[in-house]
Amino acid sequence: MNIILIGAQGSGKGTQAQRLAASLGIRHVASGDLFRKAIDEGTELGQKAKTYIDQGKLVPDNLTVSMVLGRISEPDCASGVLLDGFPRTIVQAQALDEGLGRAGQRIDCVLYLEVPRNVLLKRLSGRYICKANQHVYNINTRPPKVPGICDLDGSELYQRSDDRGEAVQKRLDIFFNETVHLFDYYANQGKLAAVNGNQGIEEVAGSLLKAINDCREDV
């Protein structure tokens, strides 16, 4: 089963994606994580992507599409993927449909995690992430037990450069102005389901699983 999880930065998408993928037994593929890994490893792709990411801009479609399609064609993705952060544009969505189609696969379900903009801004300004595994904390609402240290793996917590200052506003503008076009694209395919992301973590997880089951019944 191939699922797309759409949500603005700070919507809880990363946390929910990790849980969902584990409970469905499919691979969690996050385009932002793939870019950050490429940057850490100092690859050519990482160097190109960094300029855009640091400014809160989208990385060009050609770089993004080839990176993600390459990743999902690897053997560990054969039983299904949960895509997080990709696609973000119509060009990417079309390229994804074509790429999956060539492999005899398709997207089964597209979930939109809906959270109001004022809630997103508050969450993002307090967000810290662990260096080792990208576990997410919030100094206001979900602090670690020891300040600055991940509860789960003991690694250092950091605030992403694009979670600070103007880059936050720019990323939310991009989401609300541009990424929303994807809703029409997937609604026309009859695959879109909206889920209320402004609830507790457990409630959101339950709502997402319910939406996936509804979507399975429709197939």
Residues found near ligand AMP in the complex (CB under 6 A): 9, 31-32, 35, 52-53, 56-59, 64, 85-88, 92, 162, 171
Active site residues: 13, 88, 127, 160, 171
Q: Using CB atoms, what's the residue nearest to ligand AMP? A: 32
Q: Which segments of the chain are extended strands (E)?
A: 3-6, 27-30, 81-84, 109-114, 127-130, 136-138, 157-158, 192-196
Q: Distance of CA 128 to CAs 21, 142, 161, 170, Å?
A: 22, 10, 11, 19
12, 44 Cβ separation under 8 angstroms: no
Closest approach, Cβ 205 to ligand AMP, in A, equals 19
- Kindly tell me which of 49 and 202 has the beta carbon lying closer to ligand AMP: 49
C-beta of 46: minimal distance to ligand AMP in Å?
A: 11
In the complex with ligand AMP, the residue whose CB is nearer, 98 or 214, is 98
Q: Determine how many CB atoms are found less than 10 A away from the CB of residue 27.
A: 18
Residue closer to ligand AMP (CB basis): 169 or 213: 169
Two tokens, residue 78: 């054969």
Give the nearer residue to ligand AMP in terms of CB position, either 18 or 162.
162
Cα atoms in the Cβ-side hemisphere of radius 13 Å centred on 218:
14
Q: What are phi and psi of 87, to 5 degrees?
A: -80, 155
Nearer to ligand AMP, 77 or 203 (CB): 77
3-state secondary structure of 192: strand
The alpha-carbon radius of gyration of the chain (Å, integer) is: 17
For residue 202, the minimal CB distance to ligand AMP (Å) is: 23
Question: Can you say whether the dihedral through the CA atoms of 25, 26, 30, 34 is positive or negative?
Answer: positive
